[in-house]
Amino acid sequence: MTDTSQSVLSLIVNDSSLDPDLRKIAEKVEAGERISFDEGVILYEKAELGYLGVLSNFVREKLHGHKTYFNRNFHIEPTNLCVYDCKFCSYSRLIKQKEEGWELSMNEMLDMVKKYDNEPVTEVHIVGGVLPQYDMKFYSELFSSIKAHRPELHVKALTPVEYHYIFKKAKVDYATGMRLMKEAGLESMPGGGAEIFNPEIREIICKDKCTAEQWLQIHEEWHKLGQRSNATILYGHIEKYWHRVDHMEQLRQLQDKTKGFQAFIPLKFRNQGNQMSNIEEVSVIEDLRNYAIARIYLDNFDHIKAYWAMISRNTAQLSLNFGVDDIDGTLDDTTKIYSMAGAEEQNPAMSTKELVHLIKQAGRHPIERDTLYNVVTDYNDFVFEEEPKPQFYKLPVINAMEVERKQNE
Ligand code: SF4
């Protein structure tokens, strides 16, 4: 941690006017102790943004100092058609709305990979809807073909929602299925499909897809193979604060057991173009509070990540003072998941230079990482090549008096 974050936290710990519960939590955070479920709920119910900023920044800087991570990646979304009907989903179209969807073939996806042949990307992120033809055989062939074409490109693909579906169809158990996926070339799993673990909320917003237990079991099997994954939460809709804490508690327990999660990624519910459009979105203040509480609660997660494409560049910059140390990747306009839900970024793409600038503007230290958080390039003192300066052409100067004199001659 930095001296500043320590001394600001000490002010809170010594503030006798502060609510005793919040003071006790601050003492625990300063001592590096884990906070309880009830204390997590207290943070959501009582803590102001300023207080949460101090605590979460203390934890963030203790773990990472000013370092802020990003990667160079692109997405492949095989299809936006889906057999499921999650109420919050703005992205998927039911099979009966087929004309509004896309279904990429194996060759189309491999062509997308080849498009990046001369680009220094380190990761392909594959996730989309669930359809019967995208089965175990299809994905095994896709992963192995990508690895055969470009062995160093990290394949991060599919969530337990897809795995549960394809394993069930192939009649294999989770342990066997994950082992076969690994053998085909899968290297890590993104964090999607978690939504909210509470069964009553899940029943209302996404009742058909895999349950919370199945989601956690699939990650556990993957971690047992020595592999890494991420975890998400979908917040800001019909859930209560305690549902968010319960969700994080279940993740914290699995992480104690397996240590396989790398990053926790809070995903904000966006209300455009879905069946929950009547629900108002939460404010940016609530987004920042949520990042901060996640950072404080999940003491065994190394990273808290914000998807800049979902929350906008400005909020992503702010989040770096509320526990976030990773803002994902360059994306290259290859995902529709956030823009179709109403995110401010309608064509999300940032150059490395722009991402570095964005992080530096927030007073942080930009590090390009690979998927497993190995440092690819430290951009703190990196000088980008000068871009050509704009050219100005000399225009003839027209002297109005001279023109008039000539006209009168
Ligand atoms: S959230 Fe995923 S599983 Fe649910 S409808 Fe959308 S694409 Fe399908």
Q: Ligand 1: which atom is nearest the Cα of residue 161? A: 3
Per-residue tokens: 313: 């560049």
Q: Which of 79, 127, 161, 203 to mutate to test the pocket of ligand 1 (most atoms within 8 A of CB)?
A: 161
Model confidence at 94: pLDDT above 90 = no
pLDDT at 389 over 80: no
Distance from residue 48's CA to the centre of ligand 1 (Å): 34
Counting residues of the chain whose pLDDT is more than 70, the rounded percentage is 89
Binned at pLDDT 50, 70 and 90, residue 335 comes out as low
Q: Which residue has the higher pLDDT, 178 or 90?
A: 178
Rounded average pLDDT over 347-373: 90
What pLDDT does residue 180 have? 98
Q: Whose CA is nearest to atom 1 of ligand 1?
A: 89
Ligand 1 centroid to residue 90 C-alpha, Å: 9
pLDDT at 168 over 70: yes
Rounded to whole angstroms, how far apart are CA atoms 358 and 19? 36
User: Taking all residues of the chain, what is their mean pLDDT, rounded to a whole number?
Assistant: 91
Ligand 1 atom closest to the CA of 195, numbered from 1: 1
pLDDT higher than threshold 60 for residue 84: yes
- Looking at 240-244, 291-295, 328-332, which range is the least confident one? 328-332
pLDDT for residue 391 is more than 90: no
209 CA: nearest ligand 1 atom = 3
Residue 205 has pLDDT above 90, yes or no: yes
| Mean pLDDT within 52-72 | 96
- Would you place residue 111 in the very low, low, confident or very high pLDDT band (cuts 50, 70, 90)? very high
pLDDT (0 to 100) of residue 344: 61
Q: Is the pLDDT of residue 93 over 80?
A: no
Instruction: State the average pLDDT over residues 189-208.
Output: 96
CA of 86 to the centre of ligand 1 (A): 6
pLDDT band for 101, please (50, 70, 90 cuts): confident
Percent of the chain at pLDDT exceeding 90: 74
Task: Residue 297: count other Cβ atoms within 10 Å of its Cβ.
Answer: 27
Residue pair 221/174 in contact (Cβ under 8 Å)? The answer is: yes
Would you state the pLDDT for residue 103? 93
Among protein residues, the one whose CA lies closest to atom 3 of ligand 1: 84
Lowest mean pLDDT among 191-195, 211-215, 276-280, 306-310: 306-310
pLDDT at 359 over 70: yes
**102 alpha carbon to ligand 1 midpoint, in Å?**
14
Query: Is the pTM for the entire model greater than 0.75?
Result: yes
pLDDT tens readout for residues 301-318: 999 999 888 888 899 999
82 lines ligand 1 (CB under 6 A): yes
Ligand 1 atom nearest 129 alpha carbon: 7
Predicted local confidence at residue 169, as pLDDT? 97
CA of 273 to the centre of ligand 1 (A): 13
Q: Does residue 332 have a pLDDT over 70? A: no
Ligand 1 contact, 86 CB (< 6 A): yes
Q: What is the pLDDT of residue 330?
A: 77
Q: Does the CB atom of residue 89 touch ligand 1 within 6 A?
A: yes
Mean pLDDT of 55-70: 96
Of the listed ranges 70-79, 207-216, 228-237, 307-316, the one predicted with least confidence: 307-316
